[in-house]
Amino acid sequence: MTNHPEGSPEPIEGQAAERFRIEGPVTSAERAWRLVGDTDWMNRAGGNGSVLSMAVRPQADGFPLLEGEIAGPFGMKVPFSEVWSSWVAERFFRQVRDLHSPLVARSDYRAELVPVEGGVRPVVEMTLVGPGWGSLLRRGLSLGAMERKWQATLDRLGLPESEAEGGRPLDAEALAAIARWRNAAPGHLVDRFADAFRNGRPGELARLRAYVLADRWGEDREAVLETLLAGVDGGAVELFWSVRCVRCYGQVAGSRLLSDVADHVDCPACGIRSDTDLGENVEVLFAPHPSVVRALDVNFCTVFPAAAPSQRAVLTLLPGQRVHTEAPIPPGQWRLGVGGSVPDVEVEAGASGPGTLRWAGQSGGTAEVKAGRVDLDIENRTAGRTRVYLTRLGGALPIVPASLLTTHDGFRRRLGHQVLAPDLRVGVRSVTILFTDLGGSTAMYEELGDARAFAVVRDHFAILRAVSARQGGTVVKTIGDAVMAAFFDASSALTAAFEMQAEFSSWASGLAMAQPPTLNVGLHRGTALAVHTDQSGLDYFGGTVNLAARAQGAAGEGEVVWTEVLQTDPLVAAILAARGLKGDRFSKELKGLGVVPLYRAKPQNDERAAK
């Protein structure tokens, strides 16, 4: 490991160095990388002081330098600066920190996953640099203990993953919370989470991602998400909102309450500001409640791999430095660049193309490479330090966006207090809004009288709420005898509209009325503003809501009407085909919107839709 293809920082002159090198058992690259790429955990496992604070601060040359304090001996706070951070995912990781300590001037951590038969072998090398007089102290008091503890940590990679961390006890209060949780959610999923709480590393527990865990466990995503929401409701789990940079996808802000989320964020690493968008860059994460897993003090730092899964490679370079290294790049869309005012290169990794990806600070553009093992040729031609990122567009993990959760009936039912501040507007990239209205309600009031007619309206609300929840949406509010509901995707919303029609028609036919009311539905998908209101909690406003309401107004008795954006959705087309419908196109002048193309159907007359 003496050959460092990732480059090296300037050496500290006149200092003595002590080092060790250890190896772990053969395991999968994914498992080994989750361990050696989590320097927060490796630091704890080595018996070192925990990081007390840290922040990314741009330097005079524009370089995003991580600075902070770490707990030292005798309660001292030791300031540090992270002068070097380079890695290629599932290949190597190097992290160099300069410390303002009389004993240690620099720590140099490097991990490499060496390919062998059956997987990879993790190799870790640690070097401490400091004054010559402190050599024996560094070796005896720090480096020797770190070597023994890290070796034991690597050796546990040879155990089944559920046993690898050795377990942490759960006290009576924690077990009581888990027991309450088991009464409200599938027991086998609660047991999986309880095992994770006992054996998981702090960094992983602080970032529980519902869909990632579901995929890892081979479970249904919706079931795992519902289980976590039940855990929040029962006091075993906490939910928080992670605001991510739209460029590097690292966390730049986070809050336990949605009301504390700001309407814009700054990423110091990328040097950009972006608007907060519940669909674009706000992710829902979970963590054990402090009463269940205590002292889960994890710092959210996006400079080490475990906290930046969307980044395939991060390379730090000095002025004039050039780095050659190989990176495995899966097929897809990628972004290569340094952020700030320098345009990125948009990279397409496909079935054909060159095997080398070169970057020398060029001003944007596009590039193609052959997916697989790609040679990265990176050069810094500027007068300052720089850090180059290779990032998967859209992120590398299946996330739960805030826009999905805020339209999720289970969330609104259990956690309705999680709303936005009254003076805050946060955009939602895409939400489908559904409006209903009762046709013939005037005649209904005349025939039944106010009391019975009101009971009909109330009971039909229960039908619409149940259908919305079943399709992953939620009723936002009622307006007279109308309903406004929100859905994460258009296909679920249209399915809900058809089911509302079928169930309402069947129910209304049993009212023994001369002329039963009809349900008229309108839908539209687009960008909306999510705001807090005293009446509805989290509500939606804007042009998307207005057009959905106008579409409903264009619906005749018993019709569902939708807009062009839904009609062109492939998933919507599949739903229509399955029901033997295609949507009859018509145009109508809508107030304030001009002539708008719309589509309509009467699904309750289709026997297949009513089944």
Residues 470 and 582 occupy one common structural domain: yes
pLDDT score of 7 more than 90? no
Confidence at 611, pLDDT banded by 50, 70, 90: very low
Q: Considering the domain boundaries, does residue 394 fall inside one?
A: no
Residues 189 and 335 occupy one common structural domain: no
Mean pLDDT value of segment 83-95: 93
Tokens of 579: 């029901």
Residues 471 and 571 occupy one common structural domain: yes
Tokens of 18: 């002590």
Tokens of 597: 């193309």
Residues 222 and 369 occupy one common structural domain: no
- Identity of residue 130: G
User: Whole domain around residue 335: which residue ranges?
Assistant: 324-387
Q: Are strands 345-350 and 366-370 parallel, antiparallel or unpaired?
A: parallel
Confidence at 519, pLDDT banded by 50, 70, 90: very high
| Distance of alpha carbon 505 from the chain centroid | 40
Residues 294 and 420 occupy one common structural domain: no
pLDDT at 166: 57
Confidence at 165, pLDDT banded by 50, 70, 90: low
Q: What is the DSSP string of 365-404?
A: -EEEEESEEEEEEEE--SSS-EEEEEEETT-SS---BHHH
Largest pairwise CA distance in the chain: 100
Q: Residue 102 to residues 138, 549, 611: CA-CA distances in angstroms?
A: 11, 69, 77
Confidence at 608, pLDDT banded by 50, 70, 90: very low
pLDDT at 397: 84
164 SS3 class: coil
Question: Distance between CA atoms of 403 and 389, rounded to whole angstroms?
Answer: 28
Looking at the 3D structure of the chain, how many domains does it have? 4
The number of beta carbons lying within 10 Å of the beta carbon of residue 203 is 22
Mean pLDDT value of segment 58-78: 82
Residues 246 and 359 occupy one common structural domain: no
| Distance of alpha carbon 173 from the chain centroid | 30
Q: Considering the domain boundaries, does residue 166 fall inside one?
A: no
Residues 6+ apart with CB under 8 A from 468: 409, 434, 474, 475, 485, 487, 496
pLDDT at 74: 63
**H helix or E strand, kind and range, residue 155:** helix 144-155
Give me the CATH number covering residue 436. Answer: 3.30.70.1230
Residues 6+ apart with CB under 8 A from 477: 483, 484, 535, 536, 539
E strands present in 248-341: 251-255, 264-267, 272-275, 282-288, 311-317, 322-329, 332-337
pLDDT score of 22 more than 70? yes
Q: Considering the domain boundaries, does residue 583 fall inside one?
A: yes
Residues 6+ apart with CB under 8 A from 397: 209, 211, 212, 309, 310
Q: Considering the domain boundaries, does residue 202 fall inside one?
A: yes
In terms of Cβ atoms closer than 10 Å to its own Cβ (0-12, 13-18, 19+), residue 379 is: middle
Determine which of 130-139, 182-191, 344-353 has the lowest per-residue pLDDT on average. 130-139
Q: Domain boundary at 369, 387, 405, which? A: 387
Residues 129 and 224 occupy one common structural domain: no
Question: Distance between CA atoms of 331 and 372, rounded to whole angstroms?
Answer: 8
Confidence at 3, pLDDT banded by 50, 70, 90: low
Residues 520 and 478 occupy one common structural domain: yes
Q: Considering the domain boundaries, does residue 121 fall inside one?
A: yes
pLDDT score of 607 more than 50? no
Bigger pLDDT: 413 vs 320? 320
Among residues 255, 250, 265, 266, which one has the least CA distance to residue 304? 250
The b/e string for 475-511 (b: 16+ C-beta within 10 A; e otherwise) is bbebeebbbbbbbbbbbbbbbbbbbbbbbbbebbeeb
Confidence at 515, pLDDT banded by 50, 70, 90: confident
Determine which of 39-48, 99-108, 533-542 has the lowest per-residue pLDDT on average. 39-48
Residues 154 and 183 occupy one common structural domain: no
Q: What is the pLDDT of residues 497-514, one digit of tens each?
A: 999 999 999 998 888 788
pTM over 0.85: no
Going by the DSSP 8-state scheme, the letter that residue 165 receives in this structure is: T
Determine which of 1-5, 263-267, 485-489 has the lowest per-residue pLDDT on average. 1-5
pLDDT at 206: 84
pLDDT score of 300 more than 50? no
Q: Are 446 and 284 within 8 A, CB to CB? A: no
Q: Considering the domain boundaries, does residue 404 fall inside one?
A: no
The number of beta carbons lying within 10 Å of the beta carbon of residue 117 is 6
Q: Considering the domain boundaries, does residue 456 fall inside one?
A: yes
pLDDT score of 531 more than 90? no
Determine which of 15-19, 70-74, 284-288, 491-495 has the lowest per-residue pLDDT on average. 70-74
Determine which of 266-270, 284-288, 353-357, 520-524 has the lowest per-residue pLDDT on average. 266-270
Q: What is the pLDDT of residues 574-590, one digit of tens each?
A: 999 999 998 999 999 88
Residues 293 and 362 occupy one common structural domain: no
Give me the CATH number covering residue 47. Answer: 3.30.530.20
What's the distance, Cα to Cα, between the start and end of the chain in Å? 66
Q: What is the pLDDT of residues 441-466, one digit of tens each?
A: 878 888 888 888 888 889 999 999 99
Question: Distance between CA atoms of 408 and 218, rounded to whole angstroms?
Answer: 22
Among residues 323, 295, 345, which one has the least CA distance to residue 86? 323
Q: Residue 449 to residues 193, 196, 443, 455, 544: CA-CA distances in angstroms?
A: 53, 58, 10, 10, 36
Tokens of 27: 């395991």
Q: Considering the domain boundaries, does residue 5 fall inside one?
A: no
The b/e string for 225-260 (b: 16+ C-beta within 10 A; e otherwise) is bbbbbbbbbbbbbbbbbbbbbbbbbbbbbbeeebbe
pLDDT score of 217 more than 90? yes
Residues 581 and 446 occupy one common structural domain: yes
Q: Domain boundary at 241, 274, 307, which? A: 307
- Return mean pLDDT, the chain: 87
pLDDT score of 495 more than 90? yes
Q: What is the pLDDT of residues 125-157, one digit of tens each?
A: 999 999 988 888 778 767 888 899 999 989 989
Q: Domain boundary at 307, 335, 360, which? A: 307
Q: Are 595 and 589 within 8 A, CB to CB? A: yes
Residues 279 and 362 occupy one common structural domain: no
Q: Are 131 and 117 within 8 A, CB to CB? A: no
pLDDT at 159: 83
